[in-house]
Amino acid sequence: MVKFLKPNKAVVLLQGRFIGWKAVIVRSFDDGTRDRPYGRYLVVGIAKYPKKVIHKDSAKKKTKKLRVKGFIKLVNYNHIMPTRYTLDVDLKDVVSTDVLQTRDKKVMAAKESKKRLEERFKTGKNHRWFFSKLRF
């Protein structure tokens, strides 16, 4: 079987707490572990999308509306839907499997990935679809 889901590919989650939310593949694990014998993706997604900013908003309100909240998760291959989009955000050095072992490491990695996603959003390079909420 050909692996067409490479890192930096945008996907939509189909199961779990973040059903219907968008995420980016960071790394894939083809062979599972003893307790989880299935292939998985390590994904970083958006738990809270940025809101629409209008001209009359104050600077403080604009910065609050432009915030992004992210999540880090291991997801089964069958629980994602691929999209045609890719997102050129380098998250491999921030997020890895050892990050998920302890709460402190996960929080620090989530903060760093949040910074990088916000930075990508503010540059506005053809990623409007990824940073907008799905309507269905």
Q: For 46-75, what is each residue's pLDDT tens digit?
A: 999 999 889 999 999 999 998 999 999 999
Tens of pLDDT, residues 74-115? 999 999 999 999 888 888 888 988 888 899 999 999 999 999
Q: Which of 13, 136, 134, 23 is CA-nearest to residue 71?
A: 23
Contact 89, 120 (CB under 8 A): yes
Residue 1 pLDDT > 70: no
> What is the reported pTM?
0.86
